[in-house]
Structures are given as structure tokens and as C-alpha cells.
Amino acid sequence: EIVMTQSGGTLSVSPGERVTLSCRASQNIAGNLAWYQQKPGQAPSLLIYGASTRATGIPARFSGSGSGTEFTLTISSLQSEDFAVYYCQQYSLWPPSITFGQGTRLDIK
Amino acid sequence: QVQLVQSAAEVKRPGASVKVSCKASGLTLSTTGISWVRQAPGQGLEWMGWINGNNGNTQSSQKVQGRLTLTTDPSTAYMELRSLGSDDTAVYYCAKGVGSTDAFEIWGQGTMVIVSS
């Protein structure tokens, strides 16, 4: 099983700041990496797939990069609605064997 | 507009089974795959399994393999989990990927399953 490790745990950041979240895969997953945002009481929402493609309706302040084993999600200027938990997910194997990172929480400083 | 609407919350005794449904609108499940993901209270996301709506092929995680049955008809996907324990208490989600990927763009609203004696 591929293990996904997210750094940071909880990050306290201020609105307007730029923040970069990291995700590492235990083996090469090429670009088969997605990022999700989850707010309390809601289902996760897809932000990025294919490591760098924004999902439909996602603002340009969200960007993803990386390939292989190292990936990042950058939010260029934090808005109040961005304070949430973020998960990375790999979907590289066939047949499907999907794993998520443990999540990084963004809190308001 | 594509939507997945799940069945209502359930309370089950340890050792029982639960079956959760996921009704699709705006798409036919025979043309896509559906995954099931769960989230224990205060915890992260855990992928449980996947069903190919076209041919019924399934895959499941090692953690639930042997206890999980996934089925589908043209409009509804079903997840049945047997021999429930307290660590199965979670919100269960169905989800559909973008195109042929397993990056989940469409999620059901979630079904809370509580396992308690």
C-alpha cells in the first residue's frame, strides 16, 4: 500500500498570506495526485487532480505542483473561506487502491 | 447536474450488517465507477472500495476485504458492510471520479453509521 504523508498537522495562518502544503508518497505515483478541501460537517471537495489541474469552479489562487513522490498545494492569498482541512490522495494503482494523507488543518492566526 | 444522494443515518448493534445506498441523478452508473470512502469521527478519510458500474467488478481495501459487498444497478450503488464493530462508526460517502480517474469530483452527502450496543 502506498502511504501518503502530509506535513504540518495544523497551520495557523493569517488571511491574505500565501501558504504551501506538502504531501509525500512512499513510492512513485507519477502525477496521479488529488487535493481536497473539507469543511466541518461537509463532504470533501475536489480542488486539484492530476497533481496540477484545477477542478471545475476552483479559484485560480489554488495551484498544485509536483510529480513522482513530492507534491505541493499552494494557496496564493488565503481567504476566510479557505480555513479548512486539506487532504492529498493518490490514485495511481490499477486495480484501484487509493490512499489519503492524514490531512492538514488551516486555522486562522 | 450530477448528484449522488445517500440513504439516511443508521444505528446498528455490534456484529450486525449495514447497507447504504447512493442514488445517482444526471448520470447512469453503468458508465462509471463508484468508490466508497469513510471517515470516523474526528479522523481522516479512508478508501474502502470501488465498483465498476459497467461490469460489476469490484476492489476493496485490505482492511474491509471479506466484510464489504458493493453492488449497483443503473441508478443506485449499494455498500454493505458485515460484522460491524465499534471502529466501523463513521460517515460513509460514495464518490465518483473525474473522467476515468479516481480523483473524486462528485460526492454523496454522507451517511452516518453508528455501531453501539
pLDDT of residue B30: 87
Looking at every residue in chain A, the average pLDDT score rounds to 95
Predicted confidence band at A92 (pLDDT cuts at 50, 70, 90)? confident
pLDDT band at A66 (very low <50, low <70, confident <90, very high): very high
| pLDDT for residue B33 | 92
Task: Give the nearest partner residue to B44 out of A49, A97, A103, using CB atoms.
Answer: A103
User: What CA–CA distance (Å, rounded) separates B18 from B79?
Assistant: 8
Query: How far, CA to CA in Å, does B91 sit from each of A42, A89, B102, B113?
Result: 10, 18, 20, 6
The answer to whether B108 and B89 are in contact (CB under 8 A) is no
pLDDT at B100: 84
What's residue B2's pLDDT?
92
Round to whole Å and give the CA distance between A92 and B27.
25
* pLDDT tens digits in sequence order for chain B, 117 residues long: 899 999 999 999 999 999 999 999 998 998 899 999 999 999 999 999 999 999 999 999 999 999 999 999 989 999 999 999 999 999 999 999 998 889 999 999 999 999 999
pLDDT for B114: 98
Residue A90 sits at the chain B interface (C-beta within 8 Å): no
> Could A91 and B59 be called an inter-chain contact, meaning their C-beta atoms sit closer than 8 Å?
no
Q: Is A40 part of the contact surface with chain B (CB cutoff 8 Å)?
A: no
CB-based contact (8 Å) between B104 and chain A?
yes
Residue A12 pLDDT greater than 90, yes or no: yes
Instruction: Write down the pLDDT at residue B26.
Output: 92
Contact A46 B105 (CB under 8 A): yes
User: In this model, does residue A94 exceed pLDDT 80?
Assistant: no
C-alpha cell at B56: 460489476
